[in-house]
Amino acid sequence: MDIRAYRQNKLNKKIQRLRSKAERLEKIAAGKQAAFNVHRGDIAFLTQPASLASSFGKQRQRIVDKYDKGIELQIEAQKLREKADWVEKRGVSVKGDAEAKRQRGREQQDKLISVGSKVYDFAYGAGEVIRLLY
């Protein structure tokens, strides 16, 4: 197995691990938010005055705290999904990839600039290419 295939396999496992963790966090977040979602349309439950010392106040505060924790878990899951997407888009790199990319850039520039080409530089003004340095 060559190094590129090995690293790609390792990267695929990491992406799968990130996405499965994000999915697990989404399920946990949905469970934590379920108690609040039952009372979502009940204005009396949300606005009824109650001290934090009363049993109703404590119950409502526990429900709200769980809901907040669920939102935090959803945000963390979203970050994990974004990271997995970014890692997948970026792909793997091995020694020599950067040099090959630079060489492709040089070849592209060779098509545009050659000896005798007219060029303009903001500092030196108009000129002509005498030789190419690599």
Domain residue extents for the chain: 3-94
**pLDDT value at position 119?**
87
Give the whole-angstrom CA distance, residue 14 versus residue 16: 5
CA angle, corner 92, sides to 88 and 95, nearest 5? 165
Token duo for residue 96: 């020599």
DSSP annotation of 41 reads T
pLDDT by position in tens, the chain (length 134): 688 899 999 999 999 999 999 999 999 999 999 989 888 888 888 888 888 889 999 999 999 999 999 999 999 999 999 999 999 999 888 888 889 999 999 888 888 888 888 888 899 899 988 887 76
Single pTM value for the model: 0.70
